[in-house]
Structure 1
Amino acid sequence: MKPDYLFTAGWRVFFLAAGLWAVISVAIWLMWLIGLVDGGHLGVAPQSWHAHEMIFGYATAAMGGFFLTAVPNWTGAKAAPERFVMLVAGLWLAGRLAVCLAGVLPSAVVAAIDLAFLPVLAAKVLTQLMARPKPQNMMFLLLITLVWISNLLVHLDWMGLTGTGWQGLRGGLLTTCAMIAALGGRVTPAFTRNAMLREGRAERLPVEHPRLDMAGIALAILTAFVVILGLPDAVDGGLAVLAGLVAAARLAGWRGLALPHQPIVWVLHLGYGFLALGFVLWGLAQLGLGDEMAALHVLGIGAVGGMTLAVMSRASLGHSGRALVAPGPVALAYALIPLAVALRWAGSTFPGSFYLPGVIGSGLVWCLAFTLYLTALWPIFFGPRANGNEAAA
């Protein structure tokens, strides 16, 4: 096992970084909750730091690994060289360190460092997409831009220039969910179909409806966009409910129960199911029905956490030349995500005596899930491919 392999592909370093930050950042959050860590050095409210690092720390690392891996496959463009992978990984890490030192560094410096990562990543993605430009792929540049704008809104609030912190956090999460609506909606039925065909099951394959697919993606993007614009809650709430219902309708045709013996397949359906549920719950909360924080964590833990865990583990196995079979610890990690969602949802829905146990329990389950992921895939991140051929993820 040689560290030299770590920067040979974007998926290696970023999927490792995402897993590590998933554990480290939530562990810091939990220690603050129980009084073991003083959050004063962060320079911002610990709750705001936690939300920021889940969205613009963890999720953007997963994005970096995915786009640096998938886009060359889509277009046939040359993969990013090691020096570029090292550069963008360094920018992502610098952002995490700067935000952790926000109580020491000038807020403008923190913003400049943290906002540097996504533009550099987007520039590389653009050059690769131009090798074979397609609207359905170019769209992701818009979504990366919306994530960056959302992060900017948070930093402007931290600098005391605006009151857009909460707006930016919600916008970043919902834009990430829009990416899942598009990407998850692309890979979930495709990977399910491929797995069924490999088993010789050519009947009752997943069914896709192009108009429904377009509506689901458009509604998810529009929901994020109106949140970033700061439009009234009734507008984004109504759009979110529609986005969730359409996502559920799409999911219903993808044969989610066809392969219960293949965790690496059903976890994709699970993540997309949480997307649909989270959109509906959050939309209803915006309309005055239900707790918004509970709904946001269904999206954050279930949809973003679940789907990124699914895709990162699958891509790591596939691109390292291994069989697309989830190792036991990874399969257990998949199964722990719904428990983390349920505990966090209950903590906000039934506040009072259950809030702290629910939040802490959810955080511990989350940390356990990603520790299992890291333990199982650590040798893959640092080691050579199992064979000489690049396997499709």
Structure 2
Amino acid sequence: MTSPRSVPFFELGFRPFFLGAAVFAPLAIVLWILSLRIDLELAFRYDAQSWHVHEMLFGYGSAVLTGFLLTAVPNWTNRPPLSGWALIVLFAVWILGRVAMITPLPPLVAIVCEGLFLPMVLGVMAREVIAGRNWRNMAVLIPVSLFTLANIGFHVETLTEGYAATTIRLGFAALIFLLMLIGGRITPAFTRNWMIQKGVEPKPPMMNRFDGVCLVSGLISLLAWVFLPEWTGTGVVLLLSATLHLMRLARWGGWRTRVNPILFALHVYYAMIPVGLTAIALGVFDPAYATAGLHVIGIGAIGGMTLAVMMRASMGHTGRPLVSDIRLTLALTCIIAAVIARFLWASFPNIDWMLDLAALFWIAAFGLFIIRIGPWMFKPRLS
């Protein structure tokens, strides 16, 4: 009898969770658009918009985050990765959460089923980091913990207040900060390695105090936005943080990587963070900008960076060269097109078909990922 540990699909966390996220991302958007166009009933205890926000943020976002952490943490700690039955159970709990959000289960049962996943992930990560005495990466557990609390808080706030405005912002803030922290570490590192191989100068600087200032400013501005979204001072600190992160991005010299689409995409999508923060800052004065900013970050920064990381990690960990082809390059381009279309719809809501166009580009991006990379997830790593 074949052991689950020997099945390629369950030998490392990126395989089930990246593929699961890639399948769920377009499916959730199809259901969301259908709910708007033909009044499809999406959820039995939340309105359709709450379901949409939750599932893109805590459904898709948690799957990609888990796939990344389950693959990266063993490298950080030099401990064996989660695999076999343990990985199957964790993946099944994530699927259970998606089912619980769309079926008529009793509210408490649904909340327990959906809210179980992230605490399990947090527990696994904490165990591995502590057992591996990898204190340097303990900082990653802080935003993951906030993301976990935000998900639980979403259910409580929605059922008590009607709409989970504060905990949705907290969930966004946790993911944005993770992008600032992890994305701000891997993007210049990958760029530096590529430039060394190609003999390109000057190389991006290593992490230093300026990066620390950027992270602190990001944390302060995001917390201000979570708890004081309408305060003028929040707009000021968001603009300051956006400026610092643009300066941080410029120091990496990403324009020199444009011949490498997957690497260049990381720089482009990181730019969506300061662009989105700027729009959210303007949202203090006009809520339409805040909605546009959230989608710039949600589609461009979170969706784009996670898609590019899923591509790169899947290639590296299945033994493929880190080279994009026409399908993957088109997928990366579709994310940018989706950002533009969704931003325009936020600015001109009367052009209703612009929302459908944004959805189409999003679906195409992940569909291309599934077609090109999906089969690799079931095959052994190439030697």
Task: Answer whether TM exceeds 0.5 for this pair.
Answer: yes
Q: Give me the whole-angstrom Cα distance separating, in 1, the residues matched to 2:269 and 2:251.
A: 15
Select which of 52, 71, 79 maps to 2:73: 71
The structure 2 residue matched to 1:98, chosen from 86, 97, 100, is 100
* Greater mean alpha carbon deviation, residues 135-144 or residues 338-347: 135-144
Secondary structure at 2:254 match in 1 = coil
Structure 2 vs 1, CA of residues 240 and 208 (structure 1 numbering), >3 Å: closer, same or farther? Answer: farther
Amino acid at match of 2:353: P
Paired with 2:40 and 2:48, the residues of 1 have a C-alpha distance of 9
Q: Does 1:304 align with 2:306?
A: no
The SS at the match of 1:100 is: coil
1:11 lines up with 2:14 in the alignment: yes
Residue 41 to residue 76, structure 1, CA distance change in 2 (3 Å): closer
Segment of structure 1 superposing worse, 174-183 or 133-142: 133-142
SS in structure 1 at match of 2:101: helix
**Which residue in 2 is equivalent to 1:59?**
61
Residue-by-residue CA offset, 1:50-87 (whole Å, 9 max, x unaligned): 11100000011000000000011112122113222111
- Deviation, structure 1 residue 96: 0.5
Choose the corresponding residue for 1:212, options 202, 205, 210: 210
The alpha-carbon deviation at position 239 of structure 1 amounts to 3.0
Structure 1, gaps ≥5 residues long: 388-393
The 3 A distance-change label for structure 1 pair 58 and 65 is: same
User: 2:61 & 2:363 partners in 1: Cα distance?
Assistant: 15
Choose 170-179 or 299-308, whichever is displaced more.
170-179
What is the CA RMSD across the aligned residues, in angstroms?
A: 2.0
In structure 2, what is the equivalent of residue 111 of structure 1?
111
SS of aligned partner of 2:322: coil
Give deviations 1:239-286, integer Å, cap 9, x for gaps.
Answer: 322221111110001111112211111011011011121111112212
1:209 is displaced (CA, Å) by 5.7
Q: Aligned partners of 1:163, 1:236: CA distance in 2, in Å?
A: 25
Q: What is the DSSP-based 3-state SS (H/G/I as helix, E as strand, rest coil) of the residue aligned with 2:283?
A: helix
Output one character per residue of 1:159-188: Cα deviation in whole Å (capped at 9) or x when no partner. 2x2456011112111210110000110011
Provide closer, same or farther for how the CA distance between residues 70 and 155 of structure 1 changes in structure 2, counting only shifts above 3 A: same
- Distance in 1 (CA, whole Å) between partners of 2:131 and 2:190 is 25
- Matched with 1:322 is 320
Q: Deviations over 1:214-254 (max 9, x none)?
A: 12222323334344446654354333222211111100011
* Separation in 2, partners of 1:358, 1:269: 26
What pairs with 1:279-298 in structure 2 (closer than 5 Å)? 279-288=277-286, 291-298=289-296
Give the equivalent residue in structure 1 for 2:369.
Answer: 373
Question: TM-score normalised to the size of structure 2?
Answer: 0.94
Instruction: Give me the whole-angstrom Cα distance separating, in 2, the residues matched to 1:8 and 1:216.
Output: 37
Partner AA of 2:240 in structure 1: L
Contact 1:244 1:275 survives alignment (8 Å): yes
One-letter amino acid of the structure 2 residue matched with residue 241 of structure 1: L
Specify the alignment match of 2:37 in structure 1. Answer: 34
- 1:188 counterpart residue number: 187
C-alpha deviation, 1:337, in angstroms: 1.0
8 Å Cα contact 2:230-2:284 kept in structure 1: no
What secondary structure does 1:369 align onto? Answer: helix
Structure 2 unaligned regions, length at least 5: none
Which secondary structure state, in structure 2, belongs to the residue aligned with residue 39 of structure 1?
coil
The answer on whether the counterparts of 1:282 and 1:292 sit within 8 Å (CA) in structure 2 is yes
Contact 1:208–1:254 (8 Å) recurs in 2: no
* Offset of residue 349 of structure 1: 0.9
Matched, 1:125 2:122: no
Q: d(CA) in 1 for partners of 2:42 and 2:262?
A: 41
User: Does the CA contact (< 8 Å) of 1:238 and 1:287 recur in 2?
Assistant: no
Give how far 1:90 is off. 1.0
Distance in 1, matches of 2:375 and 2:215, equals: 36
Q: Secondary structure at the residue paired with 1:286?
A: coil
| Closer/same/farther in 2, CA of residues 174 and 242 from structure 1, 3 Å limit | same
Is the alpha carbon distance of 1:224 and 1:110 closer, same or farther for their aligned partners in structure 2, counting shifts above 3 Å? farther
**Aligned pairs for 1:321-340 within 5 A:** 321-340=319-338
Q: Deviations along 1:7-50, whole A, 9 cap, x unmatched?
A: 11100000001100111000111112221x52265432111111
Matches within 5 A, 1:236-247: 236-247=234-245
**SS at structure 1 position matched to 2:194:** helix
CA separation of 1:290 and 1:46: change in aligned 2, threshold 3 A: closer
1:208–1:250 CA contact under 8 A, matched in 2: no
Instruction: Tell me, yes or no, if the aligned pair for 2:337 and 2:361 is still in contact at 8 Å.
Output: yes
Q: Give the structure 2 partner of residue 390 of structure 1.
A: none
- Residues 98 and 375 (structure 1), Cα distance of their counterparts in 2 relative to 1, 3 Å cut: same
Alignment partner, residue 391 of structure 1: none
Distance between the aligned counterparts of 1:93 and 1:350, measured in 2?
A: 36
Structure 2 CA distance for aligned equivalents of residues 41 and 306 of structure 1: 27
**Would you say the 8 A contact 1:42–1:49 is kept in 2?**
no
Q: Is the 8 A contact 1:16 1:381 kept in 2?
A: yes
